[in-house]
Amino acid sequence: MAYTLTFWGTRGSIPTPGPRTARYGGNTACIGVSGPGRRLLILDAGSGLRPLGHELMARRDGPLSADILLSHTHWDHIQGLPFFKPLSAPGNSVCIYGAAQEGVPLEKILRRQMDPMVFPVPLTAVAAALRVTEIEEGEFPIADFRVRAFRLRHPGTTYGYRLAPATGGREIAYVTDNELGDGGSYPVGDGWRAALVTFLGETDTLIHDAMYSEHMIQVRRGWGHSTPRQAVELAAEAGCRRLVLFHHEPEHDDDAIDRLLDQTRAFARQVAPGLEVDAAAEGLELAL
Ligand SMILES: [Zn+2]
Ligand SMILES: [Zn+2]
């Protein structure tokens, strides 16, 4: 099955609009995954979800169906939801999948960011049919894909996902907000790294957290993120064909990301010859 990935938001933590981030983009995490079926699969609901929603409404030729798969519920992964235009149209149907956090149901967390104290329209007032489904580690079907979820090293319950087209084809993995270094303390077992490599084994395209430069990670161990070099080492170990650097640091403007990408490609040529390395940019489309 052929399908397309479209990057609508590539930034981590907070939107960074402006001329200095125009090429790689200022919207937070959101990727559209469109296959031959009518249901669109969306990875994360950062502020990039807003322009994606506008595009869907402009192109629609009938009711829309979308599945949104959340890595976790930190702001930069859910803040686009209140501005997702398809939610405001009757006849549309939207399913949101993600983990509960610390015993708090996912639906309750999503309602909280639209509480009248902080937002004018409550989640319960949306016109579309909305379903919220909690997931755990393991395998389940969504839209045209078989999805596998794997617990990451990041504060809160955060999942990485491997997507396999139900009818066969190239597989992708979306692994953001993940600390590959030895900082932090997370409820994962001793064999976590080996299990992650097995989970990712032979994935065609790995989209991975590459937030911090080598300099930054020195003072941000334990914050739940990785460096581009760490992502290269993981992609090489797992035998991936392509690595896409994702969740760009808000302090990095386009020129800084250019430099990081150049350095990362040079590193990859030494340790992982043949690995294609790209940096996620708003508007980038990858055909699989
Ligand atoms: Zn994040
Ligand atoms: Zn996070």
Q: Kindly write down the DSSP assignment for every residue of 122-137, as one continuous string.
A: -GGG-SSEEEEEE--S
The predicted pLDDT at position 70 comes to 98
Residue-range domain boundaries for the chain = 4-287
Distance 91 CA to ligand 1 centre (A): 31
Distance 205 CA to ligand 1 centre (A): 20
Q: 34 with 40: CB under 8 angstroms?
A: yes
Residue type at 174? Y
Distance 93 CA to ligand 1 centre (A): 26
Distance 97 CA to ligand 1 centre (A): 17
The rounded mean pLDDT for the chain is 97
Q: Between the CA of residue 131 and those of 20, 128, 230, what are the distances in Å?
A: 38, 10, 37
The predicted pLDDT at position 37 comes to 82
What residues contact 207, with CB distance under 8 A and at least 6 apart? Answer: 5, 31, 172, 173, 174, 175, 176, 244, 246, 280
User: pLDDT band at residue 31, thresholds of 50, 70 and 90?
Assistant: very high
User: pLDDT band at residue 38, thresholds of 50, 70 and 90?
Assistant: confident
- E-strand stretches of 20-137: 30-34, 40-43, 65-69, 93-98, 129-134
β-pairing, 65-69 vs 40-43, is parallel
> Largest Cα–Cα distance of the chain, in whole Å?
54
Q: 212 with 220: CB under 8 angstroms?
A: yes
CB atoms within 10 A of CB 83: 15
pLDDT in tens, 244-281: 999 999 999 999 999 999 999 999 999 999 999 999 99
Find the mean pLDDT for residues 24-30: 98
Distance, CA of 243 to CA of 204 (rounded, Å): 9
Distance 186 CA to ligand 2 centre (A): 13
Share of the chain above pLDDT 90, in %: 97
pLDDT value at 181 more than 90: yes
Distance 74 CA to ligand 1 centre (A): 6
Place of tokens 């340790």: 271
Distance 79 CA to ligand 1 centre (A): 11
pLDDT value at 7 more than 90: yes
The predicted pLDDT at position 36 comes to 85
Distance, CA of 110 to CA of 157 (rounded, Å): 15
User: pLDDT band at residue 69, thresholds of 50, 70 and 90?
Assistant: very high
Tokens representing 258 are 């250019």
pLDDT in tens, 185-234: 999 999 999 999 999 999 999 999 999 999 999 999 999 999 999 999 99
Return the half-sphere exposure (C-beta side, CA atoms, 13 A cut-off) of residue 191.
Answer: 3
What's the CATH code, domain 4-287? 3.60.15.10
Q: 254 with 287: CB under 8 angstroms?
A: no
Q: Which ligand is nearest to the CA of 13?
A: 1
Distance, CA of 230 to CA of 228 (rounded, Å): 5
Identify the sign of the CA torsion 170, 175, 179, 182. negative
β-pairing, 4-9 vs 285-287, is antiparallel
Find the mean pLDDT for residues 72-98: 97
Coil, helix or strand for 160?
A: strand
Which alpha helices (DSSP H) does the chain contain, by range?
49-59, 106-112, 192-200, 214-217, 228-238, 254-271
